[in-house]
Amino acid sequence: MRFSEKAREAARRSWALSHRHPFVQGIIDGTLPKEKFRFYILQDIFYLKDFAKVHALAATQTKDFRITAMLAEKAKFTAEAEIGVHKEHAELLGLTHEDIENVRPAPTTYAYTSHMLRAAMSGRLSESIAALLPCYWLYADIGYQNRDKKPAEPMYQNWLNTYASDWFQKSTQEMIDLFDALAEEATEKERASMLEHFVIMSEWELAFWEMAYTEEKWPSEVLAHYHDAAHEAVEEGSRDMTP
Report the b/e string of 197-224 with b at 16+ CB within 10 A: bbbbbbbbbbbbbebbbeebeeeeeeee
Catalytic residue among 82, 135, 203, 216: 135
Q: Known catalytic residue: 205?
A: yes
Quick check: 160 and 151 in contact, CB under 8 A?
yes
For 114, 154, 211, 241, the CA distances from 40, given in Å and listed in that order, are: 18, 16, 8, 48
**Alpha carbon distance 204, 121 (integer Å):** 18
**Alpha carbon distance 210, 205 (integer Å):** 9
**Alpha carbon distance 111, 214 (integer Å):** 16
Catalytic residue among 82, 127, 203, 205: 205
**Alpha carbon distance 126, 234 (integer Å):** 56
- Catalytically annotated residues: 135, 205
